[in-house]
Amino acid sequence: MSDACCGPSEAAPAADPGRLWQVRELQLAALAAVLLAAGRLIGDDPVGTGLTLTAAVTGAATFVPGALRDLVRGRIGVGTLMTIAAIGAVALGQFTEAALLGVLFSIAEGLEHYAVVRTRRGLRALLDLVPPTVSVLRADAEVQVAPAELVLGDRMLLRPGGRAATDGVIRAGRTSLDLSAITGESVPVEAGPGDVVPAGAINGGGAIEVEVTALAADSSLARIVHIVEQAQDRKGSGQRLADRIARPLVPAIMILAVLIAGLGALLGDPLLWLERALVVLVAASPCALAISIPLTVVAAVGAASRQGALVKGGAALEELGRISVVALDKTGTLTRNSPCVVAVHPAGSATREQILAAGAALEARSEHPLARAILAAVDTVPAATDVTAVPGHGLHGVLGGATLRLGKPGWIAPGPLHTEVEGLQEAGATVVLIERDGILLGAIAVRDELRAEASEVIAGLHRLGIEVAMLTGDNARTATALATEAGISTVHADLLPEDKAALVNRLRGNRRIAMVGDGVNDAPALATAEVGIAMGAMGTDVAIETADVALMGEDLRHLPQLLAHARHARRVMLQNVGLSLAIIGVLIPLAAFGVLGLATVVFVHELAEVLVILNAIRAARGTPLAM
């Protein structure tokens, strides 16, 4: 807890309380309340007074020791104000008020502690997906080892219902994987040899052998938990605003209290004005303000992470809540990222097989989705040499002594295939032309179908009042055809990676913009936008590390749900800050002029803090991400 906040003190136990009644602050508050009640029932005789004083000391035990340690280190916080008020009340003989302050302050402190622990525990529960032991094939024998004992290259044996202890690649067997606890998607994924198995995945089919590719401590699951825990400590602009107000407010309140006591003593009863000064210390304490944002961030980010959305802290969360424009990459974001060859048009005497072979020879080492489609369409891939990429245009190389070029129309003239190329593009296909020694061989049309949920997602974004634009390096006809099918009216095509970044700046204007892409090819645009969102980032180091937000699964419907969730969280933040400032603004003058006594101010102040805590917890429940 920060020195400007009134959360759990340094005296709080290291172990996380599993139940509400196990919170130390609440236990002491309950004991102090019982002692206070007994003292008031007995009356003002020495026994009753002793019990009331004991209640005050018991309640103060939750915050006074920590405040004194902070004071020794030169730090002044909310605990300092409460300590001065409690000691002052006891010195003035107001034992009941001092005890009440301790009871209510401890209750608020304990509730905050428990709320933070509970939301963090939900995140740490992800690590419980890792089984305590795992079956490994070593020296042709099956042995049971702890996940921490796995080494790279080990072969894990996963039977039906078993969980992967770390990341790996299937080497034998076929199955369906349940990734719902990691990505938030309920539909199992079919997997076979060569497919990645992330830590925590449940084997829903036959037995499989999985080669370990990451140590358990470095698995994607452990990395996600680590990043989110770090992210929860990052401060958004709302948190910085709360800090800017709370930090100088504490010494300002102390100065105000001294002035009230000093000037009041010159004008009237010194004890009366000293009492009012103590009441002002409590009334103006910015405890609720200091916890209003971080507790909301912890709750909202934790809820998002449990549904497969990795949000990098308060700054990203708050920016998400202010987004009014979303720029979507086409390939792999709006489309399924599984393109296939839909047509091959020869320009002369070349056959379909010759055209595909020439294309495959150039695309053999490319990572572009179009390359995978062309390679999948041939049985044997000839080896081209001196293959060079021309960014944004295509490839050229040498095969059998002849110079080959493959690229988009415009870089290579379509010639006699002009009509066919236009028709394919208008149908939503991406067309590449292949040329040998300056002579056009033919055209290959590849189409990557829209995701089934694309139209639903765009409609959901529009309902949130968010403007949507498609950004793609593909040609305008293909992009427009797919955009129209998805319900997007703003299309920017024929873009190089650096063009996308520049376009994000132009689209922004005075608005907040989010860029959604794959986290690698769209890195410049992701970095330029207020929020960069990487799709399908499970197991992708670059996407997880560089994006502000990573959607771990492939279901695009998480996007509008995440934006709605962030807007809800931001509303909670603003409500908490507003409530905190309003309480302070109302209580200070009432306390300074003696309208409210210490007991009343303590009750109202701590009630406001409890309301802030309960409201912050709503950030985890308001807008679920799962469909």
Catalytic residues: 329
| Strand intervals (E) in 467-544 | 467-471, 490-492, 513-517, 531-535
No. of H helices and E strands in the chain?
21, 22
Q: In whole angstroms, what is the distance from residue 214 CA to residue 544 CA?
A: 16
Q: 287-305 and 558-592 helices cross at what angle (nearest 10)?
A: 170
Phi/psi for 512 (5° steps) reads: -95, 135
H/E stretch holding 259: helix 237-267
DSSP track, 527-587? HHSSEEEEES-TT-HHHHHH-SEEE-SS-TTHHHHHHHHHHHHHHHHHHHHHHHHHHHHHH
> What one-letter code names the amino acid at 498?
E
Q: In whole angstroms, what is the distance from residue 579 CA to residue 607 CA?
A: 11
Q: In whole angstroms, what is the distance from residue 522 CA to residue 499 CA?
A: 10
| Tokens 């498609």 found at | 470
Q: In whole angstroms, what is the distance from residue 296 CA to residue 307 CA?
A: 17
Cα–Cα separations (whole angstroms), residue 381 to 138, 358, 378, 560? 36, 9, 7, 42
In contact, 555 and 627? CB cutoff 8 Å: yes
How many Cα atoms sit within 13 Å of 53 on the Cβ side? 13
Q: In whole angstroms, what is the distance from residue 372 CA to residue 296 CA?
A: 44
Q: 313-320 and 558-592 helices cross at what angle (nearest 10)?
A: 100
| Tokens 């795992």 found at | 134
Vertex 588 angle, CA 587 and 591, to 5°? 80
Q: In whole angstroms, what is the distance from residue 238 CA to residue 242 CA?
A: 6
Tell me the residue length of the chain.
627
The 3-state secondary structure of 355-373, one letter per residue: HHHHHHHHHCCCCCHHHHH
Tokens of 545: 């590390």
Q: What sign does the CA torsion over 581, 582, 585, 587 have?
A: negative
Which residues fall within 8 angstroms of residue 286, CB to CB, at 6 or more apart?
A: 4, 78, 245, 246, 249, 250, 253, 580, 584
Q: In whole angstroms, what is the distance from residue 608 CA to residue 579 CA?
A: 8
> Quick one: how far is CA 78 from the chain centroid?
30
